[in-house]
Amino acid sequence: VEAFTASVHFDARLYREDIAGSRAHARMLARQGIISQAECDAITAGLDAIEAEIEAGTFQFRPELEDVHMNIEAALVERIGDAGKKLHTARSRNDQVALDLRLYLRRRCDEIAGHLLDLQRALVRQAEANLGRIMPGYTHLQRAQPVLISHHLLAYVEMFERDRGRITDCRRRLNQSPLGAAALAGTGLPIDRHAVAAELGFDGVTANSMDSVADRDFALEFLASCAIIQVHLSRLAEELVLWASTEFGFIELADAYCTGSSIMPQKKNPDIPELIRGKSGRVIGNLVSLLTTVKGLPLTYNRDLQEDKEPVFDSADTVAASLAITAELLDHLRFNHKRIEAAVTAGFMTATDLADYLVGKGIPFREAHGVVGRAVAHCLERGCDLADLSLAELQRFSPVIEEDVFAVLTPAGSANSRISTGGTGLEAVREALAATRQRLDACTR
Amino acid sequence: VEAFTASVHFDARLYREDIAGSRAHARMLARQGIISQAECDAITAGLDAIEAEIEAGTFQFRPELEDVHMNIEAALVERIGDAGKKLHTARSRNDQVALDLRLYLRRRCDEIAGHLLDLQRALVRQAEANLGRIMPGYTHLQRAQPVLISHHLLAYVEMFERDRGRITDCRRRLNQSPLGAAALAGTGLPIDRHAVAAELGFDGVTANSMDSVADRDFALEFLASCAIIQVHLSRLAEELVLWASTEFGFIELADAYCTGSSIMPQKKNPDIPELIRGKSGRVIGNLVSLLTTVKGLPLTYNRDLQEDKEPVFDSADTVAASLAITAELLDHLRFNHKRIEAAVTAGFMTATDLADYLVGKGIPFREAHGVVGRAVAHCLERGCDLADLSLAELQRFSPVIEEDVFAVLTPAGSANSRISTGGTGLEAVREALAATRQRLDACTR
Amino acid sequence: VEAFTASVHFDARLYREDIAGSRAHARMLARQGIISQAECDAITAGLDAIEAEIEAGTFQFRPELEDVHMNIEAALVERIGDAGKKLHTARSRNDQVALDLRLYLRRRCDEIAGHLLDLQRALVRQAEANLGRIMPGYTHLQRAQPVLISHHLLAYVEMFERDRGRITDCRRRLNQSPLGAAALAGTGLPIDRHAVAAELGFDGVTANSMDSVADRDFALEFLASCAIIQVHLSRLAEELVLWASTEFGFIELADAYCTGSSIMPQKKNPDIPELIRGKSGRVIGNLVSLLTTVKGLPLTYNRDLQEDKEPVFDSADTVAASLAITAELLDHLRFNHKRIEAAVTAGFMTATDLADYLVGKGIPFREAHGVVGRAVAHCLERGCDLADLSLAELQRFSPVIEEDVFAVLTPAGSANSRISTGGTGLEAVREALAATRQRLDACTR
Amino acid sequence: VEAFTASVHFDARLYREDIAGSRAHARMLARQGIISQAECDAITAGLDAIEAEIEAGTFQFRPELEDVHMNIEAALVERIGDAGKKLHTARSRNDQVALDLRLYLRRRCDEIAGHLLDLQRALVRQAEANLGRIMPGYTHLQRAQPVLISHHLLAYVEMFERDRGRITDCRRRLNQSPLGAAALAGTGLPIDRHAVAAELGFDGVTANSMDSVADRDFALEFLASCAIIQVHLSRLAEELVLWASTEFGFIELADAYCTGSSIMPQKKNPDIPELIRGKSGRVIGNLVSLLTTVKGLPLTYNRDLQEDKEPVFDSADTVAASLAITAELLDHLRFNHKRIEAAVTAGFMTATDLADYLVGKGIPFREAHGVVGRAVAHCLERGCDLADLSLAELQRFSPVIEEDVFAVLTPAGSANSRISTGGTGLEAVREALAATRQRLDACTR
């Protein structure tokens, strides 16, 4: 039974939050005259000592005391006697655990937001370093149109920007102190919830004591935000795996991020991106886990809620590590421009440009498509690309075609012609890059 | 193959968004001189007529045209000829479908936020109607402390308030126009993305064309918000099912929301809450579905993404209907105060109050617990409750107890003594109720 | 990077399987003349010593050696030199890890099947102990018809019987040796896969080397079977929580399985059932996790698959512990027959019996319902139950009613009349109980 | 309310099962003397007529009658009067709906098993047609060792073989008739459950009435089996998408299974495999949906269970269609042997073979790796492959190398040398293919 119900083997991770919360609580109790200043001093000194012991690794957590809260309280009473017993006045494990988890998640939200920022910066560095370089843009994993490598990388910067927004919203929403909800109904003692909240850096206090101890939607929101981040990472990882294959050959990962084969020194397995992609499973699974656990629970606290912590810890760890290592990986990744350039000059990727060119000359869109289709079919027969046709040959498909057509038939011509806001044209990308750089520089980490 | 790939049987629901987007796109094309004003007029008139037909139910969607976009475009060309073919200039199905889904979700976000508000108001109405009434507060489904019915109901108001915040954040984040991303790379035609965005009520345009057509994180965020809402609803539903049981007997649901039994006229099955609770499964499943689909997809558009719409439609429908019907249900629910009062006077639910009382008299918290435990054990033996003991008897357990103890030993005394912010005391609840009422009144629907 | 990719902190749990597999592999290599007998002897002695060290807790696993396989191999080479280097001949980590996981799961399948059996037996013991006792049977958590407590308990025995079948099917399907698949393509060395398989207790060898190292459907099947088991447990747990509430009051859980309250000695929180119910979340989450991870992976081994072990370990541990503790809990649970009997005599639960009685007298089913409805309405007005009406009064609702009607209007009369196979009648239950007892007794554990 | 609770818009799909069940029930009632033969005849004739109407599309399902069961019963009473009212004797909607769903799933299990078989046969046809052809075998999406195309395809045959086993086990386990469980407790009427079961093709009757109406684990098992199938399909789909890319260029999909681009006639989007891969999301989501719905439900029937049908229908439809279209796709797929051969001759994929060769000459495994690593590094410098080195050059790396080494240094030599059971050697594959062909031929469809 003890082994089944104890949680200290995982919730010991909350010790810092637990002690910070207790310190603030004790100070408030003293200010409100509920305990004496001497008692408060004994408590905070005791807590300081316990925290130091835990950090030094000399504190002995005991499973028979069930959880981190009881372990610390018991150690306090052992250390300072009766005053220690007064610490739990006007609070309950129910609001204490809700407090600790909120404090913990707030810290992890900040950490993950920081990792997101680091990763965005790494992407921007690569985008800057490769500015002007062109690669195939894909739909359906088929080569579709030439794009700037920088543009491709900036697509991910946008995804992680929204991720940062979600984590920030989550942090804002959870940053309300539940302490003072007590077991479920509040307390009759003259506590000052606002003071505790302020000391702990909360934006305010929760408005309803039953909600405070019953709900974990803040943890669900955190887990959902993590799941979306890891899915974004899984897409980047998939691309890295593809690009590192012999068939694509677009990038070379640094040795440190691969396992090699002792007998095939040229072979580099992209283990890190594979693991990151694979770990999307656990982060989604963690979300499902807590959603399912909370489903159908009556108010207020039910022991089922003890299951809230492990998925939260695991998703936070996984996402933080995956973000950090992806940023590192990107900084040590080399684009193989020779292979990329070869890829971008084959495959009629400028066909849409020819169609757009015709539209610009007044041909209706759907008709322009027909013209280009016939020209491409002709090239396929001849074994050449569109840019290899002469003006005269091109004009056989449409008389409106003029000398200026060649400006859009090369990969660079094609890509750079896409000057619409957010498009892949060099000017558009340069602007986007500058704006992004500025935006990220404004963020402090 | 056609049956397997066609989506018009579900994406026809996007017709309104598709037509609105096309109208705005056509007007911009004309303003930019890409098509003529006459062509634009023909297009918008044609779209108006098609929309009217669809709304009248006379439009024939054809699966061989695959999706709603091609169905409408084909009908337009049939109707107005060549001008119709020009509508698709400078856009692609990839940015068109992203646009439609964002417009659609924006509308559903507003709708769900409205339903959340309605439900909060219904909860507030019941909280107001039952102000002062006391019921058992539970932890572990065990009676723990007396609370106000209103306080219990306001706990849900808080949950739905955060849900409203999440849906609002989701709406804000998705309200960027992707139109102009074209297939993936933007376009070389002189379009004005900002103008289209403004006409369609967007806050701005997306910053990267590849991201615009590749990502669906806005749909994931919507699905996650819906999942949390439905989990909240499942908890309220669970409580309604419990309360409607013979064993609890706390409420009576209106006949319209139950199925009866022809042979047991007194029996009322709480079908609606059961269905709402059960439907948490599908709303969580929908979230898993899209998370899994997007996992590991390389940029940009892959046909896998066609799977984005059905979960989104289903979750939006389910959550909207569940919220609406829960609000109705609450308005037609009667609390059975006789049963509730009987429940609240048994079970030593004021034991914590006695402990708090002792703490107020200077007894350390953990010791006070021991005193009360002995008093309760004594009552159990005698078959009475704490309030039934005389002062002298009580003083046998602790000499600090005085006459004023009886003020906290009744359910009302207990509940109303919990005056801490967010607590269940009548004054605290009255304030919370007033603040909530004011906050909700300030929201327009 | 090392911290991110290392798995030895969790896959060390496979040491026993890893060593058993290596031993069998070495013996086969020797028999086939690929290594010498002396080398084989050195290897098996070395492995024995390493296993002993691990079991004694003196073996030092090193994260820089990544996983359990490399840790053991490195220790072997350190210990016995060159011969150790030959152990890995004709195998690869890819087939080795597949082998270890299959061996491990086979063991856990047997263990879980055993726990299922124990739980079934505990249910049967309670069913036997309470044979003849009647309780309310519920639909929609509304009292519907009287049933035997034993019958209710036997419903769970059936669920766990199918669970046992699923786990057994899973075990049978996975019991094929993948060793010899090598990295992915098999080997040219003259190995004997069948001999290794036989030594390790497999039913045969896998038929395709690429499938052998690429697929984890056996782990998925295991996780799915676990999820269904835990969902079944969550239903039993929900009932225990309900029954332990003051409102139901049907059971008393033993103190060891509850947390009490120091101030409310009568209060017992059903922590164990709550945790079991809550843990359904993690077991479902683990299944989702691996399904998502495997989705979309090309053949053969990808590092994503390293994510297969933690969900498998966690689900096996959770399900095994939940089953074991539920069996214990049931053995120490007391039914509160006074409360149950009071519950069963109220609520017109014999109304269906009266209807069946009328049908037996030739009244069409749907009409009989009308008759009973009117009779019950009459009782509601008078404040009595059906059994309290006189024959004359009953005959006013239908002239076909005779004296024998009273035999079905009492809870016992009602329940015991349901003699259909699988029904709740005492005779039917006695038979079912005997058959179940016999079936379970025939299983050895 | 009606719209929220009605299910006839989806459960109408069960009409055939519902009518078959009613027919068998009526005949049993007549045989047992519970209704007259004339009534039975009227009922079965009425049901025949209703079935014909439904199949002709002229039957009007009415949502106000809620579900398929009530619609058919109401139509029957309308048509044949009083006798129709007797059909529901000794049964309840609770056992009726359980019966219908089991009958339905049994049919879909058979159908899916058939589709699995068809797909296996299509894979075998391609394996036979390409026997002897060699392609790169991958780990980590890196070229690792040459394998036979047939061997790669047979890996999937094995996966689908286990899938077929799972579906068959599921069918066997669910093939027990629940009819006669009535509402939850069985019935007192002298029914013959075994006769009904036999008539409907069941293997027996369920053993406990409460379990019969309360549990849906058979649906969960079906959904889990479907999820694993679709995950298998997603892997094959991923490979098809990769192979169809310009970078791989291994296959050409038939036009019918792709969407083209009007302007890039050479471009073929692999829409079908993408959709199949994407649909793994919904099939996993459906499983999560029902697992979550059933979690924590007390016995017996709760309205939540109405949510069982939509996920079951959707997964059955999705998996059946995905299997069928994948089989078709494979029959119309062309391997591009020129590209594949080019891929297989580059990349040192025979390095392991050289290592195995050395081991065969007595070099310890880990040392052999070192030798090969040095040889490969030498080749990399010289820009050649291992097979391009002369014997003398090779001997510089190890004196044990002899002329016969060249037999394993070519792709074919390498692949065909892997003669271990289940390996990729031509002989091993030829045997595996013959055995598979025989096994599948023995299955009737």
pLDDT in tens, B273-315: 999 999 999 999 999 999 999 999 999 999 999 999 999 999 9
How many residues belong to chain D?
445
> Residue B226 in contact with residue B287, Cβ under 8 Å?
yes
Closest-CA residue of chain D to C419:
D188
The answer on pLDDT for C264 being more than 80 is: no
B136 neighbors B344 (Cβ within 8 angstroms): yes
**CB neighbours (10 Å) of residue B335?**
17
Given this model, what pLDDT does residue C27 score? 98
Q: Which residues of A touch D288 (CB under 8 A)?
A: 288
Annotate chain D with three-state secondary structure: CHHHHCCHHHHHHHHHHHHHHHHHHHHHHHHCCCCCHHHHHHHHHHHHHHHHHHHHCCCCCCHHHCCHHHHHHHHHHHHHCHHHHHCCCCCCHHHHHHHHHHHHHHHHHHHHHHHHHHHHHHHHHHHHHCCCCEEEEEECCEEEEEEEHHHHHHHHHHHHHHHHHHHHHHHHHHCEECCCCCCCCCCCCCCCHHHHHHHCCCCEECCCHHHHHHCCHHHHHHHHHHHHHHHHHHHHHHHHHHHCCCCCCCEECCHHHCEECCCCCCCEECHHHHHHHHHHHHHHHHHHHHHHHHCCCCCCCCHHHHHHHHHHHHHHHHHHHHHHHHHHHHHCCEECHHHHHHHHHCCCCCHHHHHHHHHHCCCCHHHHHHHHHHHHHHHHHHCCCHHHCCHHHHHHHCCCCCHHHHHHHCHHHHHHHCCCCCCCCHHHHHHHHHHHHHHHHCCCC
**CA gap D254, D260 in Å, rounded:** 11
Using a CB-CB distance cutoff of 8 angstroms, which residues of chain B are in contact with residue A28?
none
Using a pLDDT cut of 90, give the percent of chain B over it: 86
- Facing B193 at nearest CB: one of A237, A281, A420: A420
pLDDT tens digits for B103-146?
999 999 999 999 999 999 999 999 999 999 999 999 999 999 99
What is the rounded average pLDDT of the residues C146-155? 98
CA gap C21, A24 in Å, rounded: 56
**D109: confidence class by pLDDT, cuts 50, 70, 90:** very high
What pLDDT does A262 receive? 67
Alpha carbon B209 to chain centroid distance? Answer: 32
Q: Taking CB atoms and an 8 Å cutoff, what residues of chain D touch C205?
A: 421-422
Burial of B65 (0-12, 13-18, 19+ CB in 10 A): middle
Please tell me whether residue C191 adopts helix, strand or coil conformation.
coil
CA distance B287 to chain C (A): 12
Residue D317 tokens, joined: 């439809």
Q: Which of the residue ranges A418-427, B175-184, C205-214, C339-348 would you say has the lowest mean pLDDT? A: C339-348
A301, B140: Cβ pair inside 8 Å?
yes
CB C403: neighbour CB atoms within 10 A?
8
Nearest to D95 by CA among D204, D22, D198, D170: D22
Tell me how many degrees the CA angle D251-D252-D256 measures, rounded to the nearest 5.
145
Q: How many CB atoms lie within 10 A of CB C192?
A: 17
Catalytic residues of A: 140, 261
pLDDT at res. D262: 66
Q: What is the residue whose two structure tokens read 């879909």?
A: D108
From C36, C140, C209, C378, the catalytic residue: C140
Angstrom distance (rounded) from CA D111 to CA A1: 47
Residues B148 and A185 sit within 8 Å (Cβ to Cβ): no
**A chain contacts of residue B435, beta-carbon cutoff 8 Å:** 207
Q: Is the pTM of this model over 0.80?
A: yes
Per-residue burial over C75-84, b = 16 or more CB atoms within 10 Å of its CB, e = otherwise:
bbbebbeebb
> Which of A247, A258, A356 best tests the D interface by mutation, with the highest count of D CBs <10 A?
A247
Average pLDDT over residues D355-372: 86
Residues of B in contact with A352 (CB under 8 A): 183
The DSSP-derived string for A282-338 is: HHHHHHHHHHHHHTTPPSS--GGGGGGHHHHHHHHHHHHHHHHHHHHHHHT-EE-HH
pLDDT at D293: 98
The H or E element spanning position B168 is helix B149-174
Report the run of H or E that residue A167 belongs to, with start and end: helix A149-174
Subunits with 3+ C-beta pairs closer than 8 A to A:
B, C, D
pLDDT the model gives residue D408: 87
Cis peptide before D300 (omega within 30 of 0): yes
Nearest residue in chain D measured CA to CA from B284: D289
H-helix or E-strand spanning residue B205: strand B204-205
pLDDT (tens digit, 9 = 90+) per residue, B213-231? 999 999 999 999 999 999 9
The residue assigned the tokens 């894979």 is D123
Q: What pLDDT does residue D383 have?
A: 86
Residue C262 known to be catalytic: no
First to last CA, chain C: 45
Between CA C38 and CA A94 the distance in angstroms is 64
Does the pLDDT value for residue D155 go beyond 70?
yes
List of residues 6+ apart from B419 with CB closer than 8 A = A186, A188, B425, B427, B428
Counting one residue from chain B and one from chain C, the pairs whose CB atoms sit within 8 A come to 126
Q: What is the pLDDT of residue B80?
A: 97
Q: What is the pLDDT of residues D48-96, one digit of tens each?
A: 999 999 999 999 999 999 999 999 999 999 999 989 989 999 999 999 9
Q: What is the pLDDT of residue D367?
A: 86
Q: What are the φ and ψ backbone dihedral angles of A306, each rounded to 5 degrees?
A: -60, -20
pLDDT category at C262 given cuts 50, 70, 90 is low
Pairing of strands B259-260, B251-252: unpaired
- Shortest alpha-carbon distance between residue A282 and chain C (Å): 5
pLDDT digits (tens, 9 = 90+) for C368-392: 888 998 999 899 889 888 889 999 9
* Amino acid symbol at B304: D
**pLDDT averaged over every residue in chain C:** 95
| Rounded Cα–Cα distance for residues B179 and A422 (Å) | 10
Q: Considering only CB atoms, which chain A residues are within 8 Å of C290?
A: 281, 285
The whole-angstrom separation of Cα D403 and Cα D405 is 5
User: Which tops the pLDDT comparison, D157 or C381?
Assistant: D157
CB C14 within 8 A of CB C68: yes
**Minimum mean pLDDT among A327-341, A380-394, D131-145, D161-175: which range?**
A380-394
Per-residue model confidence (pLDDT) at position C367: 86
With a CB cutoff of 8 Å and minimum separation 6, the contacts of B397 are B371, B372, B374, B375, B378
Write down the pLDDT at residue A265: 67
Cβ–Cβ of C279/A310 closer than 8 Å? no
**Touching chains, C (3+ CB pairs < 8 A):** A, B, D
- Buried/exposed D425-444: b ≥16 CB within 10 Å, e otherwise: bbebbeebbeebbeebeeee
Distance from CA of C132 to the nearest CA of B (A): 23
Which one of C172, C210, C354 makes the best mutation probe of the D interface by having the most chain D beta carbons within 10 Å?
C210
Nearest to A101 by CA among A327, A382, A290: A290
Are residues D5 and B321, on separate chains, in Cβ contact within 8 Å? no
Share of chain D above pLDDT 90, in %: 86
Say what the pLDDT of residue C383 is. Answer: 86
Q: Give the start-end residues of each E strand in C193-299.
A: 204-205, 251-252, 259-260, 268-269
Residue spans of chain A under pLDDT 70: 262-263, 265-266
Report CA D228 to chain centroid distance, whole Å.
7
Region B159-165: mean pLDDT is 98
- List Cα–Cα distances, D160 to A366, D118, D126, D429, in angstroms: 44, 10, 15, 18
Contacts of C399 (CB under 8 A, 6+ apart): none
ipTM for the predicted complex comes to 0.96
Rounded-to-integer distance, Cα B206 and Cα B98, Å: 11
Per-residue pLDDT at C408 = 87
Task: Considering the candidates D9, D245, D261, D332, report the single residue annotated as catalytic.
Answer: D261
Query: Quick check: A376 and D265 CB within 8 A?
Result: yes
- Determine the pLDDT at residue C366: 78
